[in-house]
Amino acid sequence: MNPAISAYLDALRVIAAGTVLFGHALGWRTLPHDAVILFFVLSGYLISYTAAERDQTGSQYAINRIARIATVAVPAIILGILVDIYVRPLWPHGWPDFAPLDQMAKTVAICMTMTSYVWDNSYPCFSNAPYWSLTYEVWYYALFGVVFYPKSRKTKLLAGGVALILMGPKIAALLPCWLTGVATFHIQRSWRPSRSFGLLLAGTTLAIFVLMQIFPLYEFTAMQIVGPLSIATGYQFYSSNAFPLDWLTAGLFAANMLGMIGVLSATSHLPGTSVARIFAGATFSIYLFSAPLTKLVSALLPA
């Protein structure tokens, strides 16, 4: 991968992780969610790159994904338990997303198996609210693996169908966001915009995204579009309750990435590359550790 493009993608990861960290600390809602959508688009792009360039077999892919997830998810679960046990008594009225400690074994099992949000499940991983997106992402990894690596088309269709059925509607509702990243990777392999068109594309999509923040689009989509669907079906989408807007947001992020890839294609180096790479390597940990640590700091500091 072009070093400049790689540095740009690292910078996006740092921006997304920072938005989640400070968003939770300051009580933001929409921007941290948009940052998760950006993570999904980046994940789809990077997983496609990894599968095309590095993980030549399904077993390599599975081992690398499991190792990557486990080394961060397990410490995040342990941290969540420890912080919850310590922080819970310090909150006069508790905290709305504390998981019941009397069901610790069940909660740990659900968190470890990434089944917190399949179908009707809605189990927070203790007080670690951002963990929901990891469970989504793991199912996207699984779906990609069982569709990309088998040679038989019948096997691809059967295994992919099973994965979709198992993940359920909530997780599947944001799958197009992740697949947007996959599509971006394959598009840029065969076509990249010119530098001038790339600047126009990146600038326009960024301007549209900033303009969208002026209006309460998340609340409108959740209440006026997905809300009636939930009432009609009796199904709650929870973190996917604005998924049509999330599809649009993912499309803007993907188009912005494609534009920047065109801009940077002829560039060999960007300033701050080494710094971006260092922080990018920690974004997964920052993302999953931020919520428990924010609650710990909030409990310790004066109101």
> Residue 284 falls within a domain, yes or no?
yes
Stated pTM of the model: 0.92
- DSSP 8-state secondary structure symbol assigned to residue 93: T
The first and second tokens of residue 197, run together, are 């068109």
pLDDT, tens digit (0-9, with 9 covering 90-100), for 49-100: 999 988 889 999 999 999 999 999 999 998 888 888 887 777 655 555 556 6
pLDDT of res. 261: 93
Q: Does the structure show a pLDDT above 60 at 18?
A: yes
pLDDT of res. 266: 78
- Cβ neighbors of 5 (< 8 A, separation 6 or more) are 260, 261, 264, 265
Residues of the chain above pLDDT 90, percent: 57
Report the distance separating Cα 145 and Cα 275, nearest Å: 32
Helices (H), ranges, the chain:
3-26, 30-53, 58-87, 104-112, 131-148, 153-173, 175-190, 195-212, 217-220, 227-233, 243-264, 273-280, 283-300
> Residue 303 falls within a domain, yes or no?
no
Q: Locate tokens 């499940």: which residue?
A: 121
User: Residue 187 belongs to what domain range?
Assistant: 3-297
Report the distance separating Cα 170 and Cα 233, nearest Å: 13
Report the distance separating Cα 253 and Cα 246, nearest Å: 10
The first and second tokens of residue 114, run together, are 């990434």
Q: Does the structure show a pLDDT above 80 at 135?
A: yes
Count of the separate structural domains present in the chain: 1
Report the distance separating Cα 36 and Cα 181, nearest Å: 13
Count CB atoms within 10 A of the CB of residue 195: 15
For the segment 168-176, the average pLDDT, to the nearest whole number, is 96
pLDDT of res. 96: 52
For the segment 229-254, the average pLDDT, to the nearest whole number, is 94
> Residue 196 falls within a domain, yes or no?
yes
- DSSP 8-state secondary structure symbol assigned to residue 151: S
pLDDT band at residue 198 under the 50/70/90 scheme = very high
> Residue 142 falls within a domain, yes or no?
yes
The first and second tokens of residue 260, run together, are 């920047």
End-to-end CA distance of the chain: 48
> Residue 302 falls within a domain, yes or no?
no
